[in-house]
Structure 1
């Protein structure tokens, strides 16, 4: 025989209803101040699940803080590395620019020094025969000269002695010069002319440029002479008769003879 549960006041309350009633009851007790000493700890205590969740949150926050700190340290290190590399690159660039500037300054100084040396050479003069002396002076008289007087000066020199250009210029004559024998005539850079006569050997040719002290040949006894020597003249032109005092000319250019 089957029995059925009667509906009405004998039916057991559902779980939801029991929980609701308990909550309402606790709330009522709390309102009236009747909650006992045993009830309060029971309500305040966390469940094991809640404790585990709190611990997990705390650990998670700690790990996150460590990650943030590590990321910040890495970023700082990266910034410092970038700043150092930038500073090193800037220093290298400054050093390169300084080196290039110094190189250009050295080149400018070197060019200036070369130009000054060229200028000095162009303006410097020397004696035509090294360590010699004047054996016959300018305007000395005698029948041996067609003009009646000496148009230059004679330097004492044995045959084969090196003859030097007294200054910078261009050779305009190199060859036989009659009474002068083998001769060289140089147009100097200042527009004057110098003549070297009675030479035994000519070492330059017409059109050649010469520098002060450059060897242009060897002394000798060619032409109208009584012995080996070097005849030297200073002129205002390449032509005979335009002679000027050769000793004064050399001394004017700083040559002590």
Structure 2
């Protein structure tokens, strides 16, 4: 009689089945005393099988370690970038503060110079000086003689060669500029303190009525016009613009800091 096998797919025993059979075989051999020569190859094969099966876990652990390393590197780079940005901001802030301080200091210096210049100008405008630089009094105040209609000198004469520059002794406004009879060509200035000064016997006049003048500003050229015996500057200090209100011109200039 012939026997036939049922049709269908047939597979060899699985790895688990093979391992189970192997273990059973080892147990049988152990009971029969035949294990010395057969056990070692079977156990070695099983160890090889475990080694191959454990490879996937090892790869997962290695991948996790690599990912951790990459994350750590990325975090370190982010920290470095943040620190660099913070340093850049701090440096920019430091430079901006230094610039602000420099600008503030420059402004202080500029303002101090401007104040000093204004103060110097204020002092200059309030100052007085000789009407002819480096000159001296050649004829004193109230000197008597027939040269003067009043019988005495109403001012002082400053030595001045013909063509010498005559300047305003201080800050003021011109109230007379032209012919003054015995004074010849003359200029009268109302000073900023309310007093008046007169400059006579000029050969020419450089200012006009209403003009403001400052200390040392030229108002004319010395000469010998009018009632004069030679080139010089007749200078008077007055309480008004009119003749006869004269005061001592030397005392007047000295009281205002001029060395006469």
Tell me the TM-score range normalised by the shorter chain. 0.7 to 0.9
Post-superposition Cα deviations, 1:210-234, rounded to whole Å, max 9, x if no partner, equal 2212221111111111221100011
TM-score normalised to structure 2 length: 0.81
User: By how many angstroms is 1:58 displaced?
Assistant: 2.5
1:147 counterpart residue number = 150
Distance 2:238 2:2 in 1: 164
Between Structure 1 and Structure 2, how many residues are aligned?
Answer: 240
Is residue 176 of structure 1 aligned with residue 179 of structure 2?
yes
Q: Give runs of ≥4 in structure 1 deviating > 2 Å.
A: 1-6, 36-51
Unmatched segments (≥5 aa) in structure 2: 7-12, 28-34
Indicate the RMSD between aligned Cα atoms, in angstroms.
Answer: 2.9
How do 1:154-233 residues align onto structure 2 when only pairs under 5 Å count? 154-233=157-236
Distance 1:207 1:77 in 2: 78
1:98 counterpart residue number = 101
Which of 250, 255, 258 aligns to 1:252? It is 255
Post-superposition Cα deviations, 1:78-127, rounded to whole Å, max 9, x if no partner, equal 01111111111111110121122012101210111111111110122111
2:237 counterpart residue number = 234
Unmatched segments (≥5 aa) in structure 1: 7-14, 30-35
TM-score normalised to structure 1 length: 0.82
1:54 counterpart residue number = 57
What's the secondary structure of 1:249's corresponding residue? helix
What's the secondary structure of 1:171's corresponding residue? strand
Post-superposition Cα deviations, 1:38-76, rounded to whole Å, max 9, x if no partner, equal 699888876344322122123212211220221122012
How do 1:50-89 residues align onto structure 2 when only pairs under 5 Å count? 50-89=53-92
